Structure 1
């Protein structure tokens, strides 16, 4: 799968080297789960575990850490 930057349409590289893992807060009940690949240099990839061939989001590592930090700060319902 070839990823291109949505703003510049520049290629961002092939994702075949991505090692995907299920998010630690995901459950096995077929619910809303994401998979994360953080082994590629300079980016963290996120995709829907129910649609692995669908879209993939790419974040700078610092932006991903900020997002996760904010998500962890929100009280659980």
Structure 2
């Protein structure tokens, strides 16, 4: 399956806390090969950003450690 087809049928999900933000947030979807798709829930028609499993894992690890806190 080509990436463009996979993105169309991907199981997009967003954080449950997005409800407090009128549902606007970042959505993620698991893809083949461990990749992860990212898109803006306000503009799902725009091309999503796709990262490798190692990039996603590094991001999640950093977020858990508070590296992106403002």
Provide the aligned C-alpha RMSD in A. Answer: 2.4
Q: CA deviation at 1:30?
A: 2.8
Aligned residue pairs total 66
CA contact (8 A) 1:27 1:33 kept: no
Q: For 1:52, which of 39, 44, 48 is the aligned residue?
A: 44
Q: For 1:16, which of 8, 11, 17 is the aligned residue?
A: 8
Structure 2 equivalent of residue 3 of structure 1 = none
Q: CA deviation at 1:18?
A: 0.6
TM-score, normalised to structure 1, is 0.67
Higher RCO structure (Cα 8 Å, ≥6 apart): 2
Which of structures 1 and 2 has the bigger CA Rg? 1
Higher share of residues assigned strand:
1
Cα deviation 1:6-64 (Å, max 9, x = unaligned):
xxxxx7442222110013553432375100001x2121000001111113000111210
Higher share of residues assigned helix:
2
